[in-house]
Amino acid sequence: MEPGECEEARACEGEPTPAKRGQRESDWLVVRRCLAIMRRALRGPATWQELLQAVVAQEGADAYGSGAASTQRRRLEKDLERIRSHLGLDLRFDRDLGGYVVGDVAIPLLDLPDDDLGTIAWLAQTFTPDSPQHREVQGLLQRLEKALARERREEIERRHTALVLDLGRRDHDDIPTAVWNGLTRALVARRRIEFTYRSPQQDDQTPRRHVVDPYERYFDTARGHYYLRGWCYYSEGPRGVRPQNRYFDYRLGRIADLQLRPEKLPPFPPPAPQYAVEYELSPRVARFGVSRQRGIEVTGVEMRPDGSALVHGHTHDPFLAVQALLHYGPNCRVLGGPEVLERMRSTVREMGEMYGEGD
């Protein structure tokens, strides 16, 4: 900020100048107010009232003077402009989230030792989408990385790559170098991407073009492949553009022609939808306890007198939930929710038709 800017703002707004503090201390008061605003915004979306409360909690009730609420808000907005213009911080109001959020930063707000960067890379690989508290851990790591300088984010990605390469020796997919390196650049720069994807779910076997915000690259030890978890906006194929607006786990070996787009990732990843899951386990498999299944977060278990169990939970992907529950075979019966139950019925019906052809 320019010398005297704080005093000029006070004079224009009719705010008394603290004569005892002097010019230098008044300027530092503005700095402290801006730091309080940034810390609160880094926590999550905040209304202007919540930003004001954060400043008052730190600096006292007279942080913005004793004027009316509208006057205090104008003074707060001047600090927001100082943060944007002098500190290069993209602090703006997001209508969808209902508050001010922190976007990209020109000046890094955080730095960490190399050991901590290695720990972040290890946590990112360990807490894959089928792990407990996956969303919470990944959200924390993404907030930390967003506040780091680009070169420090690159160091995290290098260490993460070393981990997944060591884990991925069983993966025989041919992942093009351009795809791997392009995805690395997109993750570091927080850029949207588009690519061609071959999915076995497409009966015509024609690759589709996907536009995606990339959030995680991980190696799935159960399936033995590298995956990208990203929010897909839409896909384009022989029948035109199809809106998606949901998360997909893309197998890297099926991605081709990956390109970075100019759009930046939003300040916060879109929330993943939750689907209810309810199923019962026979006494044969429930008598020694209920195991955690990939893709299902168990929220409650009711043990019955006969040794069976009624399990309640939720999933972010009905397909993964069904695949996990099929592991139990006839010892598991899905009762709900509607999306998981319908997918299980469809899967079992198709399997019955396949195996019943010889009857």
- At 170 the pLDDT is 59
- At 338 the pLDDT is 94
The pTM score is: 0.64
User: Does residue 165 carry a pLDDT above 70?
Assistant: no
Residue 134: partners with Cβ closer than 8 Å, 6 or more residues away: 127, 128
CATH of 275-355 among 2.60.120, 1.10.3470, 3.30.70, 3.40.50: 3.30.70
* DSSP run (H or E) holding 115: helix 114-126
CATH 3.30.70 location in the chain: 275-355
User: Does residue 54 carry a pLDDT above 70?
Assistant: yes
Mean pLDDT of 173-186: 90
Per-residue pLDDT tens digits for 260-289 = 999 999 888 888 888 999 999 999 888 777
User: Does residue 19 carry a pLDDT above 80?
Assistant: no
324-335 b/e (C-beta count within 10 Å ≥ 16 → b): bbeebeeebebe
- At 308 the pLDDT is 92
Question: 142 by DSSP, 3-state: which?
Answer: helix
Mean pLDDT of 75-94: 88
DSSP 8-state code for residue 64:
T
